Structure 1
């Protein structure tokens, strides 16, 4: 799948997940900046991907796109929208060829020439036969990602599937491994790689005729579907940071009405784009747990430190490499600016003091436990049996404000005075919503 095409599918699924059935076809197409015809074609394409991913499952376990977008609190531990990653950046011929190679190497060790002969005999009639260079390239790629291993014998090298870990585990050990991966994938970020590993382990359990309840011991309510989609860019950005490479991309601000812009390749149909072309040296990736958002922070030669929400990144391309000394200097400067940042704010430091009230009923003090786990570098001072003070120095109050607000009546802001006044005004406004209504209305 082409990079631009994957950008479109990401934004398409993001809107579908967030808006559900709130938009008509015309409104949906306008919001994406595409035609209704492209909308219909993209929807058909996504349905084909999903049916391909689940085609080997029994009918009662198969999925439709509409079913995947129907949310229930305790529906399944399988995350929504993950199916798109299985189709990412693989041509149809590559997908078929790699599947044949892996199937062939499951039961025996083969040389590259033997693998080529096996693939040539099984390729569909409408696809060209692979040559030796292509097969050797595929074997090298599969070996690099750890799917196959090379035997220790001399030339010609023989390859086999790297499934010893699963096959050598007992049933109980395999279940324990699956449970661990299941919990980590659903509670840690990034999580896509964990979900893919979880799916492979589930297949191994089913091959041993394990009961369906064994493969889903836990159920999760997944809140941030956009988080999985944004991980599509994550490893490209991580690689650019490791290699000290600049990135070029088209940024569409989440505040704009358009969430996608096609790449103009035909000069006859060239049009003004809604996005902004950017060149950035990536330095850090930050995840905001409160809102389930990824942020890219880097240095721009014109504007210095810049921050982007990852959901707005499209058409990402790698650029030139910068010297290690320059990269280290910019990274050190950024880390100094982020030293007191609650998430990504690089503004003026502010001292925040809040009084927290312990719950009246006996038992676990969930208020204090939450402050201890989420309060970052803030300090706690016991005040009375029912209250304690929390103090922290942060860059600005914009990012910490929602966290303080989420405690409701269990939190009272003391300093700064401006933030206290803002909270007073907000709670007064909320109070007006609950004023008594006249009975004769």
Structure 2
């Protein structure tokens, strides 16, 4: 990412998480500690009040009076944005269609209203908006997560699963909360899966702090986890093109799977989803979870691999 993006992510992390170490920022932003300290100096020079707490439990923190908060858009303002997304397209000669869609996605991600179901603004209209995570606002979610981590309390969450395309109840032990490439993620142990997983915060419908106590393993390394498990939708070698049916198109378009993803609209409401990956095993499982509503177009090797697996399933059934 660019330096400006990294600086903004540092501000957001400190604003919501409070005390954060140089090591944690280094792991999340994928830069060395010297660069983190240089970023902090740059922010101080720009009059951003970031301070350092010394000692074993030290780190960086930001003055509580310094606050960047996204404005809550009105219903009419949101409708105007959604209409613009539908009207301003490359087919109509608008060359910044992709940038507009990315901007609107970010607006939709941060403009949460605690007492309002924003999906209702689209009733009887031809455009849609996905507010699966708006039962609680962002600040309340992050506050509960920070509290649970500080007290070693497990969380119960209603989570919108990408693979199953439905809500599931999960019990998780949160190890870390990170802001990466424009989204918040909880990293923690999932009791349902029996493994450490990442949970995208805007897919959490609501969460509750339980009375169950947990201890973060001393062997857990955020850097190792990110290096090993952050591969899906984050690679840059193999071009993968997937055709999604009209049924799943809105769901795919309403989520940013990768910062450099590309979506082409097809006739009949279908879409072509293009992304670049390091390896194909995870994407294979993800595509299969959509059944007949997702078709691999490229690469041909992955298409053949899925065909072989379906033939084996056919033999079983």
Q: Where on the TM-score scale, by shorter chain, does this alignment land: which range?
A: 0.3 to 0.5
> TM-score normalised to the size of structure 1?
0.26
Q: Which has the higher Rg, Structure 1 or Structure 2?
A: 1
Structure with the higher fraction of residues in strand conformation:
2
TM-score, length basis structure 2: 0.34
